């Protein structure tokens, strides 16, 4: 367990924020997550790392959950406070031998975009399409990070994105070629449904990677 000093809190919309911490000598592989909590507290939660492997700081993207314990408390942190960080953990990682040769499809709902942000920031030359499913446009977190034309915003509760509906509906209308490597991150229902659709489109088990948040 390490203690990391907070540099800043960046608010992205009324319920979502980025905590930027000093990196110290922490190393990780893009796509991994940490557990975060207050010093001495047993209440810790998992958060995917949002920043790139190369950044000099460590960032996480967090959405405050109604009735949630830790996500609401973390919002109240101030620059200069310290948080306990454990990790890195997880295997939601890109494979070195595929980085330059393969075509990637990233499907994320809500803050499930966090590890994808880290992928793209770490490897800017990736050949990818990102399908991001959110309720409304103000959840298209820092969308300027993604190359023009690579980012498809699916808004389910208003007609303000590139597509009005869920990511699964978009996927059915826009089939994926069978040589695509897929990474899915977000709520488990989306992941199960998207997985089924991808399998029906001819993507076999091997090239589908998943990270379930809740």
List interacting residues with ligand NAP (CB under 6 A): 63, 65-66, 109-110, 133-135, 156-157, 166-168, 186-187, 189-190, 193
DSSP labels for the chain? -EEEEEEEEEEEETTEEEEEEE-TT----TT-EEEEEETT-S--EEEEB-S-TT-SEEEEEEEPPTT-SHHHHHHT--TT-EEEEEEEE------GGGTTT-EEEEEEEGGGGHHHHHHHHH-TT-EEEEEEEESSGGGSTTGGGSPTTTEEEEESSSS-SSEES-HHHHHHHSPPPTTEEEEEEE-HHHHHHHHHHHHHTT--STTEEEEE--
Q: Which does 81 bind (CB under 5 to 8 A by kind): ligand FAD, ligand NAP, none?
A: none
* Distance of closest approach, residue 55 Cβ to ligand NAP, in angstroms: 25
Among residues 108 and 181, whose Cβ is nearest to ligand NAP?
108
**By CB under 6 A, residue 37 contacts ligand FAD:** no
The residue whose Cβ lies closest to ligand FAD is: 68
Candidate ranges 57-65, 118-126, 136-144, 153-161; the one touching ligand FAD (CB under 6 A): 57-65
Q: Which does 48 bind (CB under 5 to 8 A by kind): ligand FAD, ligand NAP, none?
A: ligand FAD
């Amino acid at each position: 367990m390490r203690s990391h000093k907070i540099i800043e809190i960046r608010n992205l919309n009324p319920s979502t924020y980025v905590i930027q911490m000093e990196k110290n000598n922490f190393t990780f592989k893009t796509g991994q997550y940490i557990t975060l909590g207050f010093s001495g507290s047993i209440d810790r939660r998992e958060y995917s790392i949002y920043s790139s492997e190369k950044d000099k700081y460590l960032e996480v993207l967090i959405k405050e959950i109604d009735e949630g314990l830790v996500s609401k408390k973390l919002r109240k942190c101030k620059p200069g406070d310290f948080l306990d960080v454990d990790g890195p953990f997880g295997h939601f990682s890109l494979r070195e031998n595929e980085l330059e040769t393969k075509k990637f499809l990233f499907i994320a709902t809500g803050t499930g975009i966090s590890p994808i942000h880290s992928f793209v920031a770490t490897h800017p030359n990736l050949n990818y399409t990102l399908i991001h499913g959110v309720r409304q446009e103000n959840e298209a977190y820092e969308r300027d990070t993604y190359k023009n034309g690579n980012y498809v915003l699916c808004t389910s509760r208003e007609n303000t994105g590139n597509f009005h509906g869920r990511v699964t509906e978009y996927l059915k209308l826009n089939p994926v070629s069978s040589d695509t490597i897929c990474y899915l991150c977000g709520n488990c229902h989306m992941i199960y449904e998207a997985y089924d659709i991808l399998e029906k489109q001819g993507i076999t088990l091997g090239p589908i990677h998943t990270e379930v948040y809740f």
